[in-house]
Structures are given as structure tokens and as C-alpha cells.
């Protein structure tokens, strides 16, 4: 049995490439490459290949390469069909990496690999029925039932971010209106805060904000520590929507556990605490009594660890 796998987490701003010990899930070595300016398929594959070659790895001991990517994926063929944040379309990552390294290559989406990581070595370790929800730029989720990921007929199950919470609501990046993501993501909070600042409302977040830069989860946390009224208002509003979405999912699927992760959850305790309290309160009484909530445990490494365990 080969001891290691390579896990790759391909995101809009960076690629993480790690050597993972299969038995323990331990990250042995990890390389980080920026993708922000060098988008497009050629740059992405070049950086991946470079990164894999830089790892302190004996390739005879490597069982597989797993890639978790943002966007829509054809898992069978190992193709990134469309990842607008990376400017990548129809990229056959499986074929490219396989012909270069001659070991099995598996491709999945970023949320499912993060959930897989949490299932193997994180907050979902002792649980077979749970939902993983990640809140950051968007809101994504993955459903684990009887220990397996539910992918749905077209592989898009778990799109909690596009659950409609207001029929005549805000415009969403998907083209629709009133999606949860337009209310509960970090980007949604950011837009609300920026809109209020433009109208002249005061907030201490301005002290952290460099011109032209966007609001980060840690700026939100610092402002909450100072009990900033404006930031508290919009973070509370987002948690109101997110808890409603989570309660709907609890009622619909009746999982044992909900794991919450992503930048905003990790950085802002107020948001996490408020969201889980309200989600329980908004769920039907019987599932509400039993439901457990946990924070994701693997942080930045959930993607690379999960990707290393992708199989088909
Ligand atoms: Zn949407």
C-alpha cells in the first residue's frame, strides 16, 4: 500500500499543493502558489506541475493526485468545465497531470473535498450523516449521507447558496434573485457595509480598510470586538438569513450534525454563535432537539486533505 497522496486545493486566489500521509491525514509538505494575477488554464496547470515537483516527495510512494477546484466539474472525465474565478473552461486537468506524473488523478469540487477532509480527519469524523456549510465569498455546502457524498443527478447537489430566501430579492451572481448567498456570505456583508458607508454612516471598520481593498473577515471581527454598531447590524442580518437557510436544510434532510466552516465562521465567533442559536430556534422542534453543530476543524488544510482522499 502506497503511503502518500498529493492533495491540491485550487481556489480563486491561491493553489495549495500538499503531500498527505494517507493513514493519518497529516500534511507532510505544502506549497502555496498565487493565482490572483495569473489566471487562465496554461498558468494554472504550469503552477500545479511546478508545485508537485517542488514537494519533498518520493513519487514511488505516491498513490494518487486529487484536485479540489472551484467551479463546475466533470468528475468522471476529470475536467474543470467552468471556473469563472480562475478563468478556466474545459480544462482536462486529469489528462494533463496523469500524462505528466503517471499516477491516478481524481478531480472534485472544492466544497466536496473540504467536506471529505472533515469527514476523514475533522469535525465529521464520528458521524455518517451531516451537512458541511462553508461561508466566505459565497455559501457552499456538501451533504454526507450514510458516509457518502450526495452529488445528485447532475453533480450539483448541496447548492445551499442558491436556495431562494426572497422571491423579489437581491441579484445573485448566478443570475437569479433572492438567493441565500446574496444575503449570508462575506461578500453580502461587505456590500451592505460599503453601501452604508457611502451614505455617510460611521464605522470603525474604515480604520482597517485601505482604499481600493475589500473588507476581510478579520476586519469584521476587529470591528465587532469594538462593538461597532454598523458592522454588528449587517453581521446580525446575515446570520438571520443563514440561520433560516440552515433551519430549512435541517427540516428537509434531518441530519445528525451541521459543520460550519469558511473564513467568516473561523474569524467571527459572534456570527457563528448567533447563527447556530437561531438555526436551532427556527428548526422544527423534533430535529431541533437532536441537531448538533460544530465548527470545521481543518481550516485552510481541509481542501488539500480531502482532495488526497478523492476516489471514484
Ligand atoms: Zn444564486
Dist. CA 211 → ligand 1 center (Å): 29
Measured in Å, how far apart are the chain's first and last C-alpha atoms? 18
Dist. CA 182 → ligand 1 center (Å): 7
How many residues are recorded in the chain?
A: 312
Dist. CA 181 → ligand 1 center (Å): 7
Residues 64 and 204 in one domain: no
Dist. CA 86 → ligand 1 center (Å): 19
CB 79 within 8 A of CB 106: no
What's the confidence (pLDDT) of residue 59?
Answer: 85
Dist. CA 173 → ligand 1 center (Å): 6
Dist. CA 166 → ligand 1 center (Å): 11
Identify whether 247 is part of a domain. yes
- What is the extent of the structural domain holding 226? 123-296
Grid coordinates given for 244: 433560516
Dist. CA 156 → ligand 1 center (Å): 13
Which residues, given as ranges, of the chain have pLDDT below 50?
A: none
What's the confidence (pLDDT) of residue 97?
Answer: 96
Identify whether 115 is part of a domain. no
Dist. CA 114 → ligand 1 center (Å): 21
Residues 218 and 275 in one domain: yes
Residues 272 and 168 in one domain: yes
Chain-centroid distance, C-alpha 225: 25
Residues 6 or more apart in contact with residue 297 via CB below 8 angstroms = 118, 121, 122, 123
The CATH number covering residue 291 comes to: 3.30.420.40
Identify whether 179 is part of a domain. yes
* Dist. CA 51–CA 10, nearest whole Å: 12
pTM of the model: 0.90
What's the confidence (pLDDT) of residue 37?
Answer: 64
Residues 181 and 260 in one domain: yes
Number of domains in the chain: 2
Dist. CA 262 → ligand 1 center (Å): 18
Residues 137 and 242 in one domain: yes
Dist. CA 176 → ligand 1 center (Å): 5
Dist. CA 51 → ligand 1 center (Å): 34
Dist. CA 138 → ligand 1 center (Å): 10
Amino acid at each position: 500500500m502506497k503511503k502518500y497522496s498529493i492533495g491540491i486545493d485550487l481556489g480563486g486566489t491561491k493553489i495549495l499543493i500538499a503531500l498527505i500521509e494517507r493513514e493519518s491525514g497529516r500534511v507532510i509538505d505544502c506549497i502555496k502558489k498565487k493565482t490572483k494575477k495569473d489566471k487562465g488554464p496554461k498558468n494554472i496547470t504550469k503552477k500545479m506541475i511546478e508545485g508537485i515537483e517542488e514537494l519533498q516527495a518520493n513519487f514511488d510512494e505516491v498513490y494518487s493526485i486529487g484536485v479540489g477546484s472551484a467551479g463546475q466539474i466533470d468528475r468522471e472525465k476529470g475536467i474543470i468545465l467552468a471556473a469563472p474565478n480562475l478563468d478556466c473552461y474545459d480544462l482536462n486537468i486529469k489528462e494533463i497531470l496523469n500524462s505528466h506524473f503517471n499516477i491516478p488523478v481524481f478531480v472534485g469540487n472544492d466544497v466536496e473535498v473540504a467536506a471529505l477532509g472533515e469527514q476523514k480527519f475533522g469535525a465529521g469524523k464520528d458521524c455518517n450523516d451531516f451537512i458541511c456549510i462553508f461561508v466566505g465569498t459565497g455559501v457552499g455546502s456538501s451533504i454526507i449521507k450514510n458516509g457518502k457524498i450526495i452529488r445528485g443527478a447532475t453533480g450539483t447537489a448541496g447548492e445551499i447558496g442558491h436556495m431562494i430566501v426572497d422571491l423579489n430579492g437581491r441579484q445573485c451572481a448566478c443570475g437569479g434573485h433572492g438567493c441565500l448567498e446574496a444575503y449570508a456570505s462575506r461578500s453580502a456583508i461587505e456590500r451592505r457595509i460599503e453601501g452604508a458607508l457611502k451614505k455617510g454612516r460611521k464605522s470603525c471598520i474604515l480604520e482597517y480598510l485601505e482604499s481600493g481593498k475589500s473588507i476581510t473577515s478579520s476586519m469584521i471581527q476587529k470591528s465587532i470586538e469594538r462593538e461597532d454598531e454598523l458592522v454588528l447590524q449587517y453581521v446580525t442580518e446575515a446570520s438571520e438569513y443563514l440561520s433560516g437557510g440552515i433551519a430549512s436544510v435541517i427540516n428537509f434532510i434531518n441530519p445528525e450534525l451541521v459543520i460550519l466552516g469558511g473564513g467568516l465562521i473561523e474569524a467571527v465567533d459572534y456570527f457563528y454563535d448567533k447563527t447556530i442559536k437561531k438555526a436551532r430556534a427556527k428548526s422544527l422542534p423534533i430535529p431541533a432537539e437532536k441537531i448538533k453543530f460544530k465548527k470545521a476543524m481543518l481550516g485552510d488544510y481541509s481542501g488539500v486533505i480531502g482532495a488526497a482522499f478523492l476516489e471514484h
